């Protein structure tokens, strides 16, 4: 699509934004239900697209792409009428005689830049919030997953007019052209490095942003943890989608007293999950592949740097470039100086590092950037509370992994380097909305505040400060 064509789509949506802003909950709910129904009717096509792009197992497409969307739509449909109703606010003494409420109004034209790792989910989940808020939306899917991007475009073209929702495919040049346009809100999912570029571009038009980024999300396993269950949770969370998940456990800090037991349990779990019949993990139909050769080589480079510096491969190590296959890898004897302990891994390599005291584990987390997710595995409530109170993360889960993204009752998102803004449920709706405060005077007057100001009046003001 040429720059002129991109500008044309944007202008159509800009011209239509005020009309969409007037739509009520009933109209928006009908749109969401159409999207929900269409996705249900085209499960096979969605699974085929992700399988073609990076051999994603059918079950993982349903769980990681479609189930979350169905839940988000159902939740939004249930609550949208209430969200759009005026939210009555109490008035302070200084505002006596007035009533106040919050009215959510759409920000206007939205741009959604979706990533490749969950190409269907992360294109449509923010769209659900945009529709609920009454915004127009242009979706820029990732060029790294062309089949999934084509599926997203097909869905949109079947359900929406271009002046309401449109999909514009292309590479980084197309993204740059889109970012130059005066959108009212930009929702970006991707790396912190690109997130900074998006935020700079948004600043040119003073557009608000939601940045869902990433980083190194730690798992802390203390000496009281249920090791068999913890190993299963971490293995599932890490190797789901071949580790290409922004909230995957990036590395594990495990108490030295249970370190060896945990490593052995992880080894057993990987075998149970992906090699139960003994044919080799490469034959497993439950294991995805790396998205492209660039990321394949990046991961092997991280692994090579670690092993050359003394890291020990305890599980896995097999790879095949022709199919972009990397078996689940577990590393021990890792050092903080290694690249793998400083860069987001985003693949099926799990470094495990032991610690002595809980304070050591907390200090390790706090010396890095604030993570998108923090996972705590413990039966000791005091231990988990200590970690929660002494660390900062976008979300924190105790004896659980990954499921925060699909829970519409809590906000999902990062903090600072791991993200800005939130999604899920009402929090996503609010990202695409302006919370307009409205005040209405019911009785009385503020004429006594008008000048000229006498000394007596100033004295009265000084005395009145303590009553406000």
CB 439 within 8 A of CB 103: no
pTM over 0.85: yes
Cβ neighbors of 440 (< 8 A, separation 6 or more) are 98, 99, 100
- Cis bond upstream, residue 408 (ω within 30): no
Q: Within 10 Å of residue 343's Cβ, how many Cβ atoms?
A: 15
pLDDT, tens digit (0-9, with 9 covering 90-100), for 262-278: 999 999 999 999 999 89
CB 326 within 8 A of CB 299: yes
Positions marked catalytic? 212, 246
Architecture, CATH, for domain 3-213+417-436: 3-Layer(aba) Sandwich (3.40)
> For residue 48, what pLDDT is reported?
98
pLDDT, tens digit (0-9, with 9 covering 90-100), for 135-175: 999 999 999 999 999 999 999 999 999 999 999 999 999 99
Are both 3-213+417-436 and 218-406 of the same fold?
no
Cβ neighbors of 199 (< 8 A, separation 6 or more) are 209, 211, 420
Domains in the chain: boundaries: 3-213+417-436, 218-406
Which is nearest to 419 in space by CA: 273, 254, 277, 213? 213
Which is nearest to 361 in space by CA: 218, 260, 217, 234? 218
CB 413 within 8 A of CB 129: no
Q: Domain 218-406 class?
A: alpha beta
pLDDT, tens digit (0-9, with 9 covering 90-100), for 96-136: 888 899 999 999 999 999 999 999 999 999 999 999 999 99
Three-state DSSP at 83 gives helix
């Amino acid at each position: 699509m040429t720059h002129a064509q991109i500008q044309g789509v944007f202008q159509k949506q800009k011209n239509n934004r005020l009309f969409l802003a007037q739509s009520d909950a009933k109209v928006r709910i009908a749109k969401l239900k159409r999207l929900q129904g269409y996705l249900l009717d085209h499960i096979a096509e969605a699974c085929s697209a992700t399988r073609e792009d990076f051999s994603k197992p059918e079950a993982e497409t349903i769980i990681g792409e479609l189930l979350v969307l169905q839940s988000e739509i159902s939740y939004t449909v249930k609550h949208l009428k209430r969200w759009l109703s005026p939210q009555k606010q109490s008035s302070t003494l200084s505002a006596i005689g007035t009533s106040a409420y919050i009215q959510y109004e759409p920000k206007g034209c939205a741009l959604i830049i979706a990533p490749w790792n969950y190409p269907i989910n992360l294109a449509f989940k923010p769209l659900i919030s945009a529709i609920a808020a009454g915004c127009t939306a242009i979706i820029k899917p990732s060029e790294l997953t062309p089949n999934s991007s084509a599926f997203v475009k097909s869905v949109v073209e079947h359900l929406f007019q271009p002046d309401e929702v449109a999909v514009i495919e292309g590479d980084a040049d197309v993204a740059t052209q889109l970012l130059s346009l005066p959108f009212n809100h930009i929702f970006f999912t991707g790396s912190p490095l690109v997130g900074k570029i998006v935020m700079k571009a948004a600043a040119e038009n003073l557009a608000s942003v939601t940045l869902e980024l990433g980083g190194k999300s730690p798992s802390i396993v203390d000496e009281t943890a249920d090791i068999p269950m913890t190993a299963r949770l971490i293995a599932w969370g890490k190797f789901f989608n071949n580790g290409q998940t922004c909230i995957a456990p990036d590395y594990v800090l495990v108490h030295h007293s249970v370190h060896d037991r945990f490593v052995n349990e992880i080894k057993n779990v990987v075998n149970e999950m992906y090699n139960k019949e003994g044919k080799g993990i490469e034959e497993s139909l439950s294991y995805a592949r790396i998205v492209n050769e660039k990321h394949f080589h990046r991961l092997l480079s991280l692994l090579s740097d670690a092993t050359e510096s003394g890291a020990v491969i305890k599980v896995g190590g097999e790879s095949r470039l022709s199919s972009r296959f990397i078996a689940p890898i577990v590393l021990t004897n890792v050092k903080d100086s290694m690249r793998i302990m400083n860069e987001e891994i985003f693949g099926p390599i799990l470094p495990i590092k032991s610690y002595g005291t809980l304070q050591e584990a907390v200090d390790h987390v706090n010396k890095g950037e604030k993570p998108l997710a923090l996972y705590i595995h413990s039966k000791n409530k005091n231990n988990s509370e200590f970690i929660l109170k002494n660390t900062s993360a976008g979300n924190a889960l105790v004896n659980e992994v990954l499921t925060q993204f699909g829970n519409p009752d809590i906000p999902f998102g990062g903090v600072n380097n791991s993200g800005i803004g939130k999604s899920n449920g009402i929090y996503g709706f609010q990202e695409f909305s302006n919370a307009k405060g409205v005040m209405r005077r019911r009785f009385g007057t503020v004429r006594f505040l008008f000048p000229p100001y006498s000394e007596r009046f100033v004295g009265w003001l000084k005395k009145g400060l303590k009553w406000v």
